[in-house]
Amino acid sequence: MLKVIKHKGVLDITKQSATGFILVIASSARLLAQCARASGFKPLVIDLFADQDTQSYAEDFKKIKSLEKRYLQSAVDYFIKRYQVDQVVYGSGFENYPDSLCYLSGCLSLLGNVPDVFIALHEKQGFFAVLNRLNIPYPCVSFNQQGELEDWLIKPMRGQGGVGIKHYKGEEVGSDSYCQKYQIGKQYSVLFLADGLQVQVIGFNSQWTVRLDECCEFMFSGIINVCDLESERKTQVVEWLKKLIPLFQLKGLNSLDFVDDGVCSWLLEINPRPSASMQLYEADLFKRHIRASLGEITHDLPHIKGCTGYQVVYATHDIMIPVDFLWPEDCVDLPESGVICRTGQPICSIMCHKMQAYLVMSALQTQQLNLQKRFLVNGI
């Protein structure tokens, strides 16, 4: 287990021969639990699904209804009292629950961005004002949109994974949403480590979305650790990060989403926590996330061999997971038997690694179609 010790005011990150327990919390915590276990920790897991593979990686787990503080608190108290755990790594799902992050920061050592940083990056008016000041391009935004305008989107202020993003059709926009001009182009992200001042790029990725319904037209669907952008454009994105990291004091593992139209790159958002792209790289990123959170970045990343892709499989109709369903080996985020997946909800995810990108994309698509065919007979 990693522990930080101060020697004359300097942070020294050392190995601690203690229990090795670490608390991981996310709406779906399989990824963090798997990475923590691979890094030699004993993950204690809190999430909303308690998938089969999440349980297999967890030393112990608690399934809760929501990441809202009133549901989270009893589970956290349980782990603190039973395992004396004192460190927590958080993932996705806290966008709408900043109070929960503040609570965690008050009772545990919070590894990753502190709540103030997390909150600041989701205060959209302030965030885009910073981009203006730094001359970083982004698609036009409006916080008081009126009338019908062509090719604008409604986005939630504190969204994740594309939930709630839809085309603007002149309707009233509430205070919890804003409008942004739709920008044509390819979707990319960059996964990076930060120590509050410096950036270490882990990799550039290509990602894609899927339309589930009229209220979720741009849901995150998949990602691959391949990016066909020219080096000059990648350098430009890294320059953005060099400006933004010290200003926001970003730490740990983060990702930045952007779109490129072939002429210019446009910043969309920063996700100030470990993202799905973390699992595309074999670099012990869980431990690196902790070290970067504590102010240390190591520069010995391994060479990337081949291509790895990740695809979310959404339910095309209501289904119930049958008893003893035989999941293919490349599937993860596996719900237990008897779980009901409603139309538009994720069923599972697929991972694929091959030496060429087109083979990865083909395999992901084929496996998704095969799974959806198998579930046609399990509708409810």
Name the CA radius of gyration of the chain, rounded: 21
194-218: per-residue pLDDT in tens? 999 999 999 999 999 999 888 788 8
pLDDT (0 to 100) of residue 29: 97
What structural domains does the chain harbor?
A: 2-111 (3.40.50.20), 120-293 (3.30.470.20), 307-378 (no CATH)
* Mean pLDDT score of the chain: 91
Q: Is the Cβ–Cβ distance between 65 and 57 less than 8 Å?
A: no
Strand-pair partners of 39: none
Going by pLDDT thresholds of 50, 70 and 90, the confidence category of residue 14 is very low
pTM of full prediction above 0.85 = yes
DSSP-assigned letters across all residues of 249-308: T-EEEEEEEEEE-SS-EEEEEEE-S--GGGGG--S-HHHHHHHHHTT-----PPPP-SEE
Going by pLDDT thresholds of 50, 70 and 90, the confidence category of residue 164 is confident
85-115: per-residue pLDDT in tens? 999 999 999 999 999 999 999 999 999 999 9
Strand-pair partners of 153: 167, 180
